[in-house]
Amino acid sequence: MQIRLLVLDIDGTLLDPSGLLTEPTVAAVRAAVAAGCIVTLATGRRFRTARPIADALGLELPILVQNGALIKDSLTGEVLYHRHLACAGAALAVEYLWQAGEQPIVYENAFLGEGVYTGPVERDGPINGPYFARNGDYRRCSTLQELLPTKPPLEVSAVDDAARLAALAPGLVHPGFRVITTTYSSGAGFLEVLDAQCSKAEALHELARRFDVPMAQTMAIGDNLNDLELLAAAGIGVAMGNARPEVQVVADEVTASNAEDGVAQAIRRHVLGPRVAALPGILSAD
């Protein structure tokens, strides 16, 4: 089976443990593109932080961001697909997090821009404070009422101690919600509230439809819980060697870790290998 569409997670997958793109990984991705494979990104990142990765890889096509809530053209920034969170549901999530003592984060409607809103600095803590400092485009709202969205946002989130956010997550059970919690090695956590139908897998289906690629000819590589459905939906789902055990279980196979260029190895095996007869020498591109 020839893989025609390849989607790659970024953090913990494409990037090495230092958060960098390695030469073998970049070479493998570019060789896949040269061989005729459509290669794109499927990430929890916002468009503004995913786009530089696409640029570094030489990708000029739609990318899947914010866990599938949005597909935007990497060149023009045009919105091609979206799954916004209903205002009423977003308000419930914001109020719940506010009352729990968290600092809610609201991501603006994609047709309005890439604004990100959060509460007053007095609500910041030792974990989310440095996070906001690293992401200086956050716009402060002084009251809860100011923070409630008037247009459907892409998502509502919070950054804090991972155990605390995991304990709060059950209180966000709602038919209109999809809640994702991510834990980092530092003990910090990220909680995201998205539309119930939002996932990287649904966005992959949309992208495959746009490019007229059967799902059987797609491949996805990822490492975290937000990649579970993505790997299950793709024709070939590949988990990184550093992926969480739950992710490795649902994958069709496990490649090497992101410290060992696992993405490059998987691309050589499933994308470049079947094409080597037609394009001699391509496996030596990295």
Residue 248's CATH number? 3.40.50.1000
* Joined tokens for residue 185: 């090695």
The span from the CA of 152 to the CA of 238, in Å, is 34
User: Same domain, yes or no, for 60 and 97?
Assistant: no
> Taking the model in full, what pTM does it have?
0.91
CA distances from residue 60 to 17, 30, 48, 75, 165 in whole angstroms, order as listed: 25, 12, 15, 6, 36
* Joined tokens for residue 213: 């690629």
Segments forming the whole domain that contains residue 135: 87-195
pLDDT at 12: 95
Spatial strand order in the sheet of 79-82: 62-65, 70-73, 79-82
Q: What tens-digit pLDDT sequence spans the chain (286 residues)?
A: 799 999 999 999 999 999 999 999 999 999 999 999 999 999 999 999 999 999 999 999 999 999 999 999 999 999 999 999 999 999 999 999 999 999 999 999 999 999 999 999 999 999 999 988 887 788 999 999 999 999 999 999 999 999 999 999 999 999 999 999 988 778 899 999 999 999 999 999 999 999 999 999 999 999 999 999 999 999 999 999 999 999 999 999 999 999 999 999 999 999 998 765 444 444 443 3
CA angle 45, 72, 14 (to 5 degrees): 40
User: Same domain, yes or no, for 17 and 53?
Assistant: yes
User: Same domain, yes or no, for 103 and 168?
Assistant: yes
User: Same domain, yes or no, for 189 and 204?
Assistant: no
* Joined tokens for residue 179: 């809640």
User: Same domain, yes or no, for 73 and 129?
Assistant: no
User: Same domain, yes or no, for 139 and 45?
Assistant: no
DSSP conformational letter for 85: P
User: Same domain, yes or no, for 154 and 238?
Assistant: no
User: Same domain, yes or no, for 189 and 277?
Assistant: no
pLDDT at 136: 76
Beta bridge partners of residue 191, listed in sequence order: 158, 181
User: Same domain, yes or no, for 41 and 133?
Assistant: no
- Average pLDDT value over all residues in the chain: 93
H runs (alpha helix) in the chain: 23-34, 47-57, 87-99, 128-134, 144-147, 162-168, 200-210, 228-233, 245-250, 262-267
Number of folded domains that form the chain: 2
- Determine contact, residues 32/39, Cβ cutoff 8 Å: yes
Domain boundary among 156, 179, 195: 195
pLDDT at 244: 92
**DSSP calls for 88-120:** HHHHHHHHHHHHTT---EEEPPTTT-S-EEE--
